[in-house]
Structure 1
Amino acid sequence: MILKDCQRAALEHIRQHSAARREVAQETIAHLLEMSNIAQEDFPQALSSIQSHARVALHFHPDRLSQNLTSVADLLLTDGLYKNQFETFLSNGALSPDKGGYRDLWENGMFGEVYMTAHVTPSDRPKYGALNLMLLPDGPSPRFGSCYFLLKPHVLPRCTFSSTGSQLNPPEKGTLDTLDGVLAALLTESFYREFALGVHNIRTRQLIDHLRDNLTKPFQDPSTQAAARNLDYFIEVQVHGPIWLADDVEILVADPSFKRTKTGMLLEKICEGYDIELFWHCGFVLNVEEVPLDFRGPKMPSLARRVASGTFLDVEMIGEAAADLKRHPERWRDRGPYEYVLQELKRLWHVLVKFGKPNNTQK
């Protein structure tokens, strides 16, 4: 992959940032290994496994509509290319695709102002994902979408990494060859809290063993596994350069609520057309009477009742509501301005992930 000057500069900026902090990070790692009675040579084996076999996950909602009312799934099928929010004006996180906006400013700050030059185009900006280290069936960061692509490991050398969302500007950043700070933060979490990226009761020894042994195994069918519901803890990945479905994507994991729907058929066509393996995870369904008042705000129960088709809520219904909001914002004015209602629907998805039961009913 031939990267543009700004993309190479972004990678080098993060590499230098990490290299300046490398000695302290390595001291932290060595201390945690000693305190955990782990041989020093075990860590390089785990690191090598990550560098050679880890996959980046790109979460997305396939039924969200673009500015011209074309769905994400339609765009993926037609273009064969995964785009960033500066191109699509869509985001499942903070939407700010304008020059001088929030994301523009934090990206330029993070990557050393490399996107400030006039010749940089929207497509030159990074695409955001999460590192799929714990192999959770609903993905490493489901808050950003009900479906996710898993990229082939050959993409890793053109990625940068941060220990959490880059909008928080965490100091632990790195490239594939300078991951010390990011991994020191991960090991610290496992040592002091017995927790790692959404997985509880995992100590440092278990984490090292998992990273060394399990990333090389064949992908396991996620439909047979319980969802991890990890909304908040992830290693963010910024992918530099284009992401072509035919060349860079290996697996698609989709929500079963899309089976036998127009969106589901588009997802199947994407996988057939671009030689991507398709899996379905267990999904989420929630009785609207079980939507709490104290998670993502007191307006969630009333929104769930409005969005749901009958008694139960799933992500396809949330997508239908988002599409209706896009086409007919006047119908939703009783709940607030367009941007506010859109944010409410994002929060309702978080509620569904947190409290939903496996979606065993097939359409």
Structure 2
Amino acid sequence: MSGPELSGAEHALRHVEARSTGSPLDRALRVTLNFHPERVVAALADTGRYVSQFVTGTSNGGLTAFAGGDRWRWESRMFGGVYDRASAYDRPVYGGLNFRLSPYGASPRFGSAHLRLTADTLSRTTFCYPDSFLEPENLGTADRMALIEIALADDRDLLDDYIEAHVHGPVSVEADAEALVLDPSYRGTAVEEEASRLPCAVEWHPGFRLSVDELRRHPDFRGPQYVDLGLEIAVDGVLTPKIIGDVRDRYDQQDLKKVWHLLARFGRP
């Protein structure tokens, strides 16, 4: 007699675990989901759920989350095709394993805010290193985790220094989040007001802040045109996450993403 039918998430976890090596993960470590808080925090408060880019149609990385797109293809490869015909709401959400214990979350490349998930979510999370867009062979689960040693031995830029995480199954703010962690530039703003509606703790990290003098020193990081754009939108000689967020409807999103990379890379205390 066969057992109960496995869900897509369970199939994906088994598929990845069979291709993973290493010892069990330290359960004190946490997965974080980094994002820009404008709109997202309000959506979290309204729906109580964090959803994938296949649902939102937006991303702080590439914009290929559609059937046949690169993100779809990468997931098909990594998870053995189990999500090829799945609903957008059934697909995993992306974050990072915060193995360096950063107050900014595992992957601030994707935003200044993050949800810190509970230890219980680790058992339904898969991992890869480096980022899945590179189609890596190094995979992991909470029970088979060799990726930390691989990442520690690597030499990647600060913004690329993360172990990608994929949380399978619904992510509920109430059940699965320990805290929402925000940049202090959002104190006293609508983002903080929306955050107060969440059924989890709200915390603050040390903050991102980049002076225009420091910004001018890095034209080679993403290109001089993004330094110029940063200089254009800076307020009182500085960039913060809120300053970038305030102009998101006035500039190309991909251009602002590069300005954010400059702030995230060079604007930490």
Q: TM-score, normalised by structure 2?
A: 0.90
Runs of 4+ in 1 over 3 A off after TM superposition: none
Unaligned runs of 5+ in 1: 27-43, 64-70, 199-229, 326-340, 359-363
RMSD: 2.2
Q: Which has the larger radius of gyration?
A: 1
Q: CA deviation at 1:8?
A: 1.4
Partner residue, 2:29: 54
Secondary structure class of the residue paired with 2:19: helix
Contact 1:289 1:301 in 2 (8 A): no
Distance 2:178 2:6 in 1: 24
Pairs within 5 Å for 1:4-19: 5-18=7-20
Letter in 1 for 2:14: E
1:258 equivalent among 150, 171, 186: 186
Pairs within 5 Å for 1:125-140: 125-140=91-106
Distance 2:148 2:186 in 1: 36
Pairs within 5 Å for 1:1-363: 5-18=7-20, 22=21, 47=24, 50=26, 52-63=27-38, 71-117=39-85, 120-180=86-146, 182-186=147-151, 189=153, 230-270=158-198, 274=199, 276-291=200-215, 292-325=218-251, 341-356=252-267, 358=269
Deviations 1:144-186 (Å, cap 9, x if unpaired)? 1101111000011111011221111211102222223x24424
Contact 1:77 1:269 in 2 (8 A): yes
Contact 2:72 2:84 in 1 (8 A): no
Q: 1:61 to 1:4 in 2, by over 3 A?
A: farther
Contact 2:186 2:242 in 1 (8 A): yes
Secondary structure class of the residue paired with 1:231: helix
Secondary structure class of the residue paired with 1:53: coil
Identity %: 38
Q: TM-score, normalised by structure 1?
A: 0.68
| Number of aligned residue pairs | 264
Distance 2:68 2:265 in 1: 34
Q: CA deviation at 1:129?
A: 0.6
Q: Where is the strand percentage greater, Structure 1 or Structure 2?
A: 2
Q: Where is the helix percentage greater, Structure 1 or Structure 2?
A: 1
Distance 1:3 1:136 in 2: 39
Q: CA deviation at 1:298?
A: 1.0
Letter in 1 for 2:10: R
Unaligned runs of 5+ in 2: none
Q: 1:357 to 1:140 in 2, by over 3 A?
A: closer
Letter in 1 for 2:130: T
Distance 1:261 1:323 in 2: 17
